[in-house]
Structure 1
Amino acid sequence: MAERARGEQRTSTVVGPVVRARPGPGGRGAAILCALLGLLPVTPVLAWSYGLAPFAVWFWSATVPSLALLAALGVATARRPHRRRLHRALVVGAVGGLLGTLGYDLFRVPFALAGVRLFAPIDTYGVLALGADSSDPRTGLLGWAFHFSNGIGFGISYAVLASGRRWQWALAWGLMIETLVVASPVAGVYALRGPGLIAIAYAGHLAYGTPLGLLAADPERTVGRLREVGPHTTAYALLAVLLVLVVWQRPFGTPATVRAGQRVAPGPSALVLDGRFHPQYLRIPAHGCVDLHNGDPVPYTLPAAVGSPRLEPGRTTTACFAAAGNAVLRVRTSDRPYAGGFVIVDRTAVADRQADANRTAAVDRAALADRTVSRSGPEGAPR
């Protein structure tokens, strides 16, 4: 009996600590660290929407380092047997987040084809990250890369904390992400209003959570299947997505219409062809202005600008905007779905001192006279 008691005591002292040492993949501290790193990529959007600092500051100081650290942890844990569970969670989270983001975007494609500008925020990310006056293929590539990094980061955060749980937990995770967006200033900045848009956003996050939850529910099986495909399937999948984005966005050249629009005037400017802005996205400081050259044979009116200026055919018009805080404004030239473009009001933007003074005067004149401020002839506003 004494021997049996001593044996039971030895068993309890050996088994007990093993059970307590596995609260999460690779340990509680490591799991929490990876979860936090997975959440950091999205901080530029939140910080900019709250007006805390320029988007670019948070992008280069939070998003890029956190992604680099997660990649380094993924490589390091692969070589350490005692970190195998954490490595599996990182792999499953990255792949699940990638597939979830693809599912989220594919769900929204039919609505975008119908004219709902659901993908507009993605292009603004690149403009803000580079601090550019307007969009081009480089900002487009960076915006989409940022979009996918957010989806992958959210996937990693979920997997390191909830691997092995029922897949429906990931649906709740996706809905929680969207709820935080709707409850934050991000919804106001990007004009996420109305039951239709909000319903699409929530449904899209269910499409995000489904593949993530299915893969994270059995991480060992998921990693085993990935290894059957190849030894570095996760890395190749991420590189493949990046390659597709590069081929799609073509960042090594700028379309002629975009170049022409950027040369209309110093600062944010665009060429209007077939009722659309080229480039599509213009970034201005608070109470700033843009210069638009109407290359079409018909006039357009911009209700979103101060004084609803009229764009006369063949003329360059300065359109000013009264927004004082960060905002993304939909500027329409007509009721057609893709007509016009977007103006990003960024109160952290730095404008040339003289140009800023001239544009402020243009705002005052437009507000008082309720007319277009034109620079096309002798009656145009001085620069």
Structure 2
Amino acid sequence: MPYATYRDIVIIPSIIVIFAIGILSRNKFPRITKRIFVGMSAGAVASFALEAIRIPGYMFAKWLPMDSMISLPGLLLTEKISSLSEVKQVIMQSGVAMNLYHAPLDAFMAGALWHFWNGATFGIVYALVIGKGRWWYGMIWAFIIEIGMMLAPYLIMMKGPFGIEHMDGYNIFVITLIAHLAFGAVLGTLVQKWKKGEIIVSSTKERKVMQIKCADCGCLPSECKVSKSGKECTNCTLDECCCWATIQNRS
């Protein structure tokens, strides 16, 4: 399937669908909404950690042959090339070394959006499946992503499985593994942090009482307990409190 067709019938519709699910689930399934947007944000931010390893990996160490995560898909998405076999020709025409080549601005921006959206979607999957697991669970997820990438058809076509046809045979795998583990560490940490309830301290004359706000609606248990219905919780951020019924049943 041509990349431009893939863009039009898969990438763009998937973005619309994910945002639609996240927004439309807000009232009835607030936890799904929260996990989608927490995962999306965490995945996009974690992609910067990956880039901190990946960019020096191809620009300076040359352990990666080129900018294959932004420039390459950008060229395909903007139809400047139609197949991987055209990459070398385009780079040779630019007169720039392969490891220093960057696609034209429009292609580079398209590739960057694609790359960070990939990070966001990996974050969404992680947040939905793992949720508030330990931070290093993110590194396990990143390792799974790494293995999938090492066996991707485009890599096998260009440099063999695990990049064994590049340099000493281990370079691509090692540098991308480090980059993905950095991605996973940041992803796991952010999802764990952003999904935790906020702990606050309220002072009274007798004592200091610590309570945990609901991570999804922002309510305190004491507020839910005295509210007559889920729609009347004082500081609830949702149209209807997601934890009111649970608190009432425990009372």
TM range (shorter): 0.5 to 0.7
1:171 matched to 2:139: yes
Q: Which one of the candidate residues 113, 124, 129 is aligned to 1:161?
A: 129
Equivalent positions of 1:61-210 (< 5 A) are 61-78=9-26, 80=27, 82-116=28-62, 117-133=65-81, 135-191=103-159, 192-193=163-164, 194-210=169-185
Matching of residues 243-258 of structure 1 within 5 Å? none
**How far apart are 1:169 and its partner, in Å?**
1.3
Q: TM-score, normalization: structure 2?
A: 0.62
Aligned length: 173
Query: CA offsets, 1:111-145, max 9 Å, x none?
Result: 33415245234212122112225652211111111
**1:57 CA drift (Å):** 1.2
User: 1:286-332, CA deviations, whole angstroms, 9 ceiling, x for partnerless residues?
Assistant: xxxxxxxxxxxxxxxxxxxxxxxxxxxxxxxxxxxxxxxxxxxxxxx
Find the aligned partners of 1:175 and 1:220 in 2 and give their Cα distance.
23
CA distance in 1, matches of 2:49, 2:66: 14
Comparing 116-125 with 94-103, greater Cα deviation is found at: 116-125
What SS does the corresponding residue of 1:102 show, helix, strand or coil?
helix
In 2, Cα distance between equivalents of 1:203 and 1:54:
31
Distance 2:25 2:145 in 1: 28
Q: Which amino acid aligns with 1:149?
A: W
* C-alpha contact 1:92 1:222 (8 A) present in aligned 2: no
- Partners in 2 of 1:146 and 1:222 — Cα distance? 32
Classify 1:74/1:162 alpha carbon distance in 2 versus 1 (closer, same or farther; 3 Å). same
- 2:226 is aligned to none
CA shift in 2, pair 1:121/1:90, >3 Å? closer
Q: Deviations over 1:81-108 (max 9, x none)?
A: x311111111210111011111000122
Q: Does structure 1 conserve the Cα–Cα contact (< 8 Å) formed by 2:39 and 2:191?
A: yes
User: Cα 1:127–1:202, aligned 2, differ >3 Å: closer, same or farther?
Assistant: same
CA displacement 1:251-302 (0-9 Å, x = unmatched): xxxxxxxxxxxxxxxxxxxxxxxxxxxxxxxxxxxxxxxxxxxxxxxxxxxx
Is this contact kept in 1: 2:132–2:195, CA < 8 A?
A: no
| CA displacement, residues 227-265 of structure 1 (integer Å, 9 cap, x when unaligned) | 99xxxxxxxxxxxxxxxxxxxxxxxxxxxxxxxxxxxxx
1:88 and 1:219 in contact (8 A); partners too: no
Is the 2:69–2:115 Cα contact (8 Å) retained in structure 1? Answer: no
| Superposed CA offset, 1:166-200 (max 9, x none) | 12111111110110111232322342332122100
Greater RCO (Cα-Cα under 8 Å, separation 6 or more): 2
Root mean square deviation, CA, Å:
2.5
In 2: Cα distance, 1:139 partner to 1:115 partner? 24
Separation in 1, partners of 2:23, 2:106: 29
Amino acid at match of 1:94: M
- How big is the shift at 1:77? 2.8
Alpha carbons of structure 1 residues 137 and 164: separation in structure 2 relative to 1, 3 Å: same
Superposed CA deviations along residues 203-249 of structure 1, whole A, max 9, x for unmatched, are 11001101111122254338999x99xxxxxxxxxxxxxxxxxxxxx
**Cα deviations by residue, 1:324-377 (Å, 9 ceiling, x for unpaired):** xxxxxxxxxxxxxxxxxxxxxxxxxxxxxxxxxxxxxxxxxxxxxxxxxxxxxx
Match of 2:187 in 1: 212
Structure-1 separation of matches of 2:23 and 2:173: 38
Which residue is equivalent to 2:231? none
Q: Is the 8 A contact 1:163 1:218 kept in 2?
A: no
Measure, in 1, the Cα distance between the counterparts of 2:69 and 2:50. Answer: 14
Identical aligned residues as a percent: 23
Query: What amino acid maps onto 1:85 in structure 2?
Result: R
Question: Retained in 1: the 8 A contact 2:143–2:177?
Answer: yes
**Residue 162 of structure 1 contacts residue 216 of structure 1 at CA under 8 Å; is this kept in 2?**
no
